Amino acid sequence: MTTERYNAREVEARWQKVWEDKDVFVTQNDDPRQKYYVLEMFPYPSGRIHMGHVRNYAMGDVVARYKRAKGFNVLHPMGWDAFGMPAENAAMQNKVHPRDWTYENIATMRGQLKSMGLSLDWSREFATCDVEYYTQQQRLFLKFLEGGLVYRKKSKVNWDPVDMTVLANEQVIDGRGWRSGALVEQRDLTQWFFKTSDYSEDLLEALETLDRWPEKVRLMQKNWIGRSEGLRVRFAFSEAAPTGDTSLEIFTTRPDTLFGASFMGLSPDHPISVKLAETNPTLKAFIDECRRVGTSEEAIEKAEKKGIDTGLRVKHPLDDGIELPVYVANFILMDYGTGAIFACPAHDQRDLDFARKYGLPVKPVVLPKDADPASFDIGDEAFTDDGSIFNSGFLNGLSIAEAKEAVAAKLESSTLDGHPQASRQVNFRLRDWGISRQRYWGCPIPVVHCDGCGVVPEKDENLPVELPSDIDFEKPGNPLDRHPTWRDTPCPACGKPAKRETDTMDTFVDSSWYFARFTSPRADQPTDPAAATDWLPVDQYIGGIEHAILHLLYSRFFTRAMQKVGALNLKEPFKGLFTQGMVVHETYKSDDGTWLSPAEITLSETDGTRSAVHAVTGKPVTIGSIEKMSKSKKNTIDPTDIIDSYGADTARWFMLSDSPPDRDVIWTEEGVQGAWRFVQRVWRLIGEIAATTDPKAALPADIDDQVLELRRTTHKTLQAVSNDIETLGFNRAIARIYEFVNAISKVANASERGAGGEFGLREAGTILVQMIAPVMPHLAEESWKVLGHRTLVSETAWPEADPDLLVDDTILMPVQINGKKRGDISVSREASKDAIEAATLELDFVKKTLDGQTPKKVIVVPQRIVNVVV
């Protein structure tokens, strides 16, 4: 018989239309079946999808299709993270409106995603720049404001001089803007903040409950939140500071080293430093220098520790005979703790570096185990390990933990100026989330500035505060600020003319609750709480590791905040999280140093050495390292090209087949061709089975051994593949399916089919189609039809493995002698340990080795192995 070659292009378009016409993947909220919410991180509409999207969405689609077959009511939506800078950049460069640019990109990318055959409920689609979406976001903002979760404050901010906007700490990477790459400056501005710090403790503690999150991500968040327990201690000034303060409050996690104190340190931004600088030009110059350098560039250059003695002196809280100098030092951060420290150089490297530079005393107070107190000395390295306290009066002999406790207890109960001298405090590295952005293409912050009433929230009935369409991008800075009329609005409180806020929200706000919006995307409130309660948390969330901190932490905060204002009733949005690896590709460079795309070169191989030449000029090309696909290195592959030439199924199959999903996958032309060959192979095999077996073939009572073996393989494979998909082991599932196809082919190609052959092959073919369906849905539908079904495999229940076929009657067990495999023994499944031992000792090769001796020991692990110890 002849089978036509599988025509992916024609077949895929056809089935996509069937699914769409029949609303196969539209999800109803009132469907009574158990719900399953699978979500992939929604894309930024940059213009075209890339291979990373293909991989991400292929994984989610496998889960969605599998769970649907398992009988769940599956929610699998898609939308667009559509606000952000690139749209404004495009507007400036190409004179196209950000809105038009964005929606055009969305249209293109929607088409590309549809060509992938994803089982998405497109009826729930939205973009975060849709007025309907950001209206609800403004509503949420106002609820947060009312609930005390939003505030304004003047703060030193990270200013990106290229994008001309403020960046969150998290958006500053190595001192540069995460998007522009420009060196970030420090500026003082009044900004809007979300009170993420209200939830520091809870965000940290609840990480423990996220047992279906990667350990790595939980650890990264834990470190980011950065909880530390310590003591706030006030040191009395010998003479009052110029600010009028009579004491200096510091935060320390090492009160046990208090007797090792050598000096005090103030941040250059500390109020006392600032006040002193007014009359001290040297100090002023120093502070200015610190600000110029900025917190970040310092890190790059590992700036030297520097400081200036203020002349102020404080008294040691445990021994007022000791006076300590107060320095302004460049390494002390204003926004952690109190912006002031006491320095113990012997046990802190930063303090030690500083003390050595300025000749300040270094007194060790923690003695390492087995060290001699008389001779123990600190060199260039601070001692930060465990030990026992010495040189410390009443603390001598205590452990570090005991000494911390003793100091805290003593200073808590002593008073200074009528207040306790110290208090225990838990500090977090996590700051409040600054959300103000001085941009046009974002969600406007719905408040009004009134000369009489101050900052007034816009009234709910006046929402949305809509972005103006007529906008000018000729100049840098915020276009909303210079719009002729948009700012003008009556004050919601007094009705007099007032001005709108021109800051828009950080785009991370948009993505912090979209998963909740999908549960009722057209609701006239941010959420329909009933639908949200039914669907959330997301059962399986899939996305890139690059969002391990920002997006995921913000979403966790937002869920809590929404719970507080009654929009949701849970804390944790994502029950299961999976972070997939990147798609990487070889790089190619011509001899003049420019990058070349895979399409521009020709590869060849001689004697096992691969080489490349320029496809047109024939000039030699250097094959470079394998790197993440990026436009700058030109090592990208356009998914559309692949889908056009091989089909979506091939692309999806290859994306999932080679590497474990959390690891990077290398895109190779050979690999895609392998996947393509497999598509054809399945197609031929199904065609042959369909042509040579009767759908109504019965299962005879006695079946041929080879057929029984095939049936066993079928059901064992089904069992294993199901398990692999459940655990997201797509590469394992695919390897098993390859094996399975090899096994079916063997029977299908056998010169004669034994009894039950038709039934066995039908069964194998049918289950094969069902197993490939989540990964290669189009090929599966087409094959399903060829096998004679009138239904859709997309709407067919997942098959059940027959338990009787999962266990073998006889088991082939390896036999080891002294831990080395020497042969096998075939035993019945029910054989007892003793019987197996006896049978083993009768084996020729065992007898030969034993040579009449009795073995020391025979270890029989049922179903596993026999080990004879001689």
Partner RNA sequence: GCGGACGUGGCGAAACUGGUAGACGCAAGGGACUUAAAAUCCCUCGACUUCGGUCAUACGGGUUCGAGUCCCGUCGUCCGCACCA
**How distant is the alpha carbon of residue 414 from its chain centre?**
48
What is the Cα–Cα distance from 682 to 700, expressed in whole angstroms? 27
- Of 806, 768, 805, 807, give the one whose Cα is nearest residue 786: 768
User: 657 pairs with which residues across the strands?
Assistant: none
For RNA, the binding residue among 46, 597, 731, 796 (CB under 7 A) is 731
User: 191 pairs with which residues across the strands?
Assistant: 153
What is the Cα–Cα distance from 184 to 865, expressed in whole angstroms? 63
For RNA, the binding residue among 164, 220, 236, 825 (CB under 7 A) is 220
Contact between 425 and 249 under an 8 Å Cβ cutoff? The reply is: no
Binding mask 553-592 for RNA (x = CB under 7 A): ----------------------------------------
Instruction: Report how far apart, in Å, the C-alpha atoms of 675 and of each of 540, 667, 671, 680, 765 are.
Output: 27, 12, 6, 9, 19
224 binds RNA (CB under 7 A): yes
User: 40 pairs with which residues across the strands?
Assistant: 542
- Of 431, 430, 423, give the one whose Cα is nearest residue 252: 423
- Of 274, 269, 266, 288, give the one whose Cα is nearest residue 242: 274
For RNA, the binding residue among 244, 618, 819, 852 (CB under 7 A) is 819
- Residue given tokens 């030092």 in the structure block: 329
Contact between 600 and 618 under an 8 Å Cβ cutoff? The reply is: no
Tokens of residue 141, six digits: 């903002």
Q: Report in angstroms how near the CB of residue 813 gets to RNA at its nearest.
A: 8
- Which residues, numbered 284-313, are part of the site for RNA (CB under 7 A)? 295-296, 298-299, 303, 305
DSSP string spanning 576-620? Answer: BEEEE--EEEEEEEETTS-EE-GGGEEEEEETTEEEEEETTT--E
33 binds RNA (CB under 7 A): no
For RNA, the binding residue among 39, 116, 120, 332 (CB under 7 A) is 332
Q: At 104, which amino acid appears?
A: E
**How many alpha carbons lie under 13 Å from residue 559 in its C-beta half-sphere?**
24
Q: How many residues bind RNA (CB under 7 A)?
A: 82
848 binds RNA (CB under 7 A): no
**Residue placing its CB nearer to RNA in the complex, 666 or 838:** 666
366 binds RNA (CB under 7 A): no
For RNA, the binding residue among 26, 666, 807, 835 (CB under 7 A) is 666
- Which residues, numbered 741-780, are part of the site for RNA (CB under 7 A)? 742, 745, 749
Q: Report in angstroms how near the CB of residue 88 gets to RNA at its nearest.
A: 25
**Residue placing its CB nearer to RNA in the complex, 494 or 861:** 861
Q: Report in angstroms how near the CB of residue 359 gets to RNA at its nearest.
A: 19
- Of 41, 46, 33, 50, give the one whose Cα is nearest residue 82: 46
Q: Report in angstroms how near the CB of residue 40 gets to RNA at its nearest.
A: 21
- Which residues, numbered 134-163, are part of the site for RNA (CB under 7 A)? none
User: 38 pairs with which residues across the strands?
Assistant: 540
**Residue placing its CB nearer to RNA in the complex, 226 or 393:** 226
Contact between 61 and 655 under an 8 Å Cβ cutoff? The reply is: no
Q: How many CB atoms lie within 10 A of CB 814?
A: 13
Single out the segment in contact with RNA by CB under 7 A; choices: 187-195, 398-406, 459-467, 735-743.
Answer: 735-743
Contact between 166 and 438 under an 8 Å Cβ cutoff? The reply is: yes
Residue 410 three-state SS: helix
**Residue placing its CB nearer to RNA in the complex, 219 or 530:** 219
For RNA, the binding residue among 52, 60, 260, 337 (CB under 7 A) is 337
**Residue placing its CB nearer to RNA in the complex, 444 or 661:** 661
602 binds RNA (CB under 7 A): no
**Residue placing its CB nearer to RNA in the complex, 26 or 303:** 303
Q: Report in angstroms how near the CB of residue 814 gets to RNA at its nearest.
A: 4
Q: Report in angstroms how near the CB of residue 589 gets to RNA at its nearest.
A: 18
820 binds RNA (CB under 7 A): yes
Q: What CA dihedral angle connects 125, 128, 130 and 135, to 10 degrees?
A: 120
**Residue placing its CB nearer to RNA in the complex, 21 or 381:** 381
**Residue placing its CB nearer to RNA in the complex, 699 or 735:** 735
For RNA, the binding residue among 97, 350, 614, 789 (CB under 7 A) is 350
- Which residues, numbered 178-207, are part of the site for RNA (CB under 7 A)? none
- Which residues, numbered 392-451, are part of the site for RNA (CB under 7 A)? 427, 429
Asked whether residue 67 is marked as a ligand-binding residue, the answer is no
Q: Report in angstroms how near the CB of residue 353 gets to RNA at its nearest.
A: 8
**Residue placing its CB nearer to RNA in the complex, 160 or 528:** 160
603 binds RNA (CB under 7 A): no
What's phi and psi for 425, nearest 5 deg? Answer: -145, 140
638: left (phi over 0), alpha (psi -120 to 50) or beta: beta
**Residue placing its CB nearer to RNA in the complex, 177 or 729:** 729
Contact between 429 and 226 under an 8 Å Cβ cutoff? The reply is: yes
688 binds RNA (CB under 7 A): no
**How distant is the alpha carbon of residue 438 from its chain centre?**
27
Single out the segment in contact with RNA by CB under 7 A; choices: 78-86, 91-99, 662-670, 797-805.
Answer: 662-670
What is the Cα–Cα distance from 435 to 356, expressed in whole angstroms? 41
Question: How large is the C-alpha radius of gyration of the chain?
Answer: 34
Q: Report in angstroms how near the CB of residue 303 gets to RNA at its nearest.
A: 4
Single out the segment in contact with RNA by CB under 7 A; choices: 185-193, 632-640, 732-740, 788-796.
Answer: 732-740
719 binds RNA (CB under 7 A): no
- Which residues, numbered 86-125, are part of the site for RNA (CB under 7 A)? none
Q: Report in angstroms how near the CB of residue 304 gets to RNA at its nearest.
A: 8
What is the Cα–Cα distance from 509 to 529, expressed in whole angstroms? 20
867 binds RNA (CB under 7 A): yes
Q: At 799, which amino acid appears?
A: P
316 binds RNA (CB under 7 A): no
**Residue placing its CB nearer to RNA in the complex, 164 or 549:** 549
**Residue placing its CB nearer to RNA in the complex, 167 or 341:** 341
Residue 714 three-state SS: helix
For RNA, the binding residue among 148, 181, 226, 566 (CB under 7 A) is 226
- Which residues, numbered 604-633, are part of the site for RNA (CB under 7 A)? 605, 608
Helix or strand run (H / E) with residue 398: none
Pairing mode of beta strands 497-500, 488-490:
antiparallel
Q: Report in angstroms how near the CB of residue 733 gets to RNA at its nearest.
A: 10
Contact between 708 and 758 under an 8 Å Cβ cutoff? The reply is: no
807 binds RNA (CB under 7 A): no
829 binds RNA (CB under 7 A): no
Q: Report in angstroms how near the CB of residue 593 gets to RNA at its nearest.
A: 21
For RNA, the binding residue among 185, 201, 249, 664 (CB under 7 A) is 664
Contact between 217 and 404 under an 8 Å Cβ cutoff? The reply is: no
Instruction: Report how far apart, in Å, the C-alpha atoms of 642 and of each of 604, 668, 788, 791 are.
Output: 21, 12, 30, 29
- Which residues, numbered 475-534, are part of the site for RNA (CB under 7 A)? none
**How distant is the alpha carbon of residue 28 from its chain centre?**
29
- Residue given tokens 């390492």 in the structure block: 368
- Of 335, 334, 353, give the one whose Cα is nearest residue 343: 353
223 binds RNA (CB under 7 A): yes
Single out the segment in contact with RNA by CB under 7 A; choices: 140-148, 320-328, 513-521, 729-737.
Answer: 729-737
Contact between 590 and 596 under an 8 Å Cβ cutoff? The reply is: yes
For RNA, the binding residue among 673, 791, 810, 826 (CB under 7 A) is 673
For RNA, the binding residue among 280, 330, 504, 783 (CB under 7 A) is 330
- Residue given tokens 């510091």 in the structure block: 250
668 binds RNA (CB under 7 A): yes
**Binding-site positions:** 631
Write out the binding residues for ATP: 631
